[in-house]
Amino acid sequence: MPLSADTSTTSAPVAPLPVTPAGVRPAPACTLVIFGAHGDLTKRLLMPALYNLAGNRLLDGNFRIIGVDRVDSTTGQWRDGLAAMMQSFTTDPNAEFHPAHIDAAQWGWLAERLEYVQADFTDVDAIRALGEKLPGNAIFYLAIPSRFFAPVVETLGRAGVVAQKDGAFRRVVIEKPFGSDLASAQELNRRVLAVLDESQVFRIDHFLGKETVQNILAMRFGNLIFEPLWRNEYVDHIEITAAETIGVEQRGAFYEPTGALRDMVPNHLFQLFAMVAMEPPNTFDAESVRNAKEQLFEAVTPIDPRDAVRGQYAAGTVEGRPMVGYRESPGVSPHSNTETYVALKLHVENWRWAGVPFYLRTGKGLGGRRTEVVVQFRKPPMLMFRNTETADLPPNRIILNIQPAQGLTVELGAKKPGPEMDLTDVQARFRYEDVFAASPNVGYETLLYDCLIGDETLFQRADNIEAAWKAVDPVLQAWAQDRAGPEPYAAGTTGPKGADDLLQRDGRAWYPLDGA
């Protein structure tokens, strides 16, 4: 049966969902204003996340959603389009949200709270009129291209709709990319903070909504067995990988001016880096966590361009299917020098990590899909085993599996059965699906809920953003002057040879990618 989106005032009201379970803090009443109501982010990620929050009874009964866009549409048409999209997810195995079915009552509860307003994002009069629909708490979500971030915030300010008064909050959620280099990030922060207080700005990185990313902090600081080993006395090096098998597909026009470094490193990979390497915060309140991140970022030496490798995928075969080269993709220049792969070496100048290199890599069109952190420990001395069958001891590793595997893998040495003392590498694994009941989600649920309750722990502060850009800015400047361009690599491989050389010159090698 198709999902109905008809929630007009002439139909019977949708029954209220059950109350929030005891012990769970419900979000306060609020109006969520989504700029970019007809965009993919709204349809594919925000609406499924809001649907899940409604199902978990975490939205107040007076919660409302106002979608704003330039598209000529009505509230009914917008609802119908969203309902059809939600229903399509049940038969689309490639969708990020893939439930077995859409609960009609749950969707109906959300759909009756939807309203559409056709308006120009930067029209002060239109935004001022919109403000008259917002009597109390309001959140403005900028699900729009980044070039509109500053103009829309300035329009909100001129329209007077973000002033906080009478105990009501006004917040703005800004998606990545937050700037394209250090100078643009600083300028964007300047313009945004001329209108808003830092406490009103929620710079969102959906990577931090993943349970496995948040679990890094729980694993490190909730288990005493890890923290004593988490330092340069025992750790040889740390690798952070975000590898994709897909290419740019139809997103070439977006990717051309962006590239792998801007798209992934100062946000996703630096957030993983922060979770793994930051000092224990005094408490888990937002400012303590973000202060700890800032202290880490300040200790990062700006990356030497000689410690950076860029690549671009050429035609190849990925998972048995042919893939055209990046330069043959729609929207891409046939002479493009945009990188689809980047590998970097970071140095952290503090007591915990001095002398421990951090290797970061991310790329498209690779032979394996994997996001993970590999903590490789120093090898133990061979003295005890020098007269045994063990010729060499493999290093111990802790692997934080983010996706597609979710959990933790520990690699350690164990004796092979038999009369000789001979050690081999074995693995101990924890997988989320083996312990916790899985439910379809898109990773925005936690972030939206945190924004509603005002918890900024998982959102980036202005100084965090700028510190990350400061670390990578020398590389961007060097690449802008380098006419040689990125090193080609065949789709379906592990990436350019230069990335392997980056570790080999240190006597190390990347942890292998599955399928590559």
Cα torsion angle, 435, 510, 276, 48, sign? negative
Contacts of 403 (CB under 8 A, 6+ apart): 210, 212, 369, 370, 371
Token output for 439? 């439910």
CA atoms of 493 and 73, how far apart (whole Å): 46
Query: What stretch of H or E contains 237?
Result: strand 235-243
Tokens (6 digits) for 307? 């410690």
> Where in the sequence numbering do the catalytic residues fall?
268
In sign, the C-alpha dihedral spanning 246, 146, 169, 196 is positive
Strands (DSSP E) contained in 42-192 are 64-69, 114-118, 138-142, 170-174
- Cα–Cα distance between 64 and 385 in angstroms, integer? 67
| Parallel/antiparallel/unpaired status of strands 114-118 and 64-69 | parallel
What does the DSSP 8-state code read for residue 381? P
Distance CA 506, CA 516 (A): 22
**CA 91, CA 428: separation in Å to the nearest integer?**
35
Q: Are 5 and 113 in contact (CB under 8 A)?
A: no
Q: Beta-carbon neighbour count of residue 123 at 10 Å?
A: 14
Report the C-alpha gap between 118 and 67 in whole angstroms: 8
Compute the distance between CA of residue 343 and CA of residue 336 in angstroms, rounded to an integer: 19
Tokens of 183: 């100078």
Q: How many Å apart are CA 294 and CA 49, to the nearest integer?
A: 29
> Rounded to the nearest 5 degrees, what angle is found at the Cα of 246, between the Cα atoms of 49 and 261?
85
Euclidean distance between CA atoms 271 and 109, whole angstroms: 35
Q: Would you call the peptide bond into 266 cis, given omega within 30 degrees of 0 as the criterion?
A: no
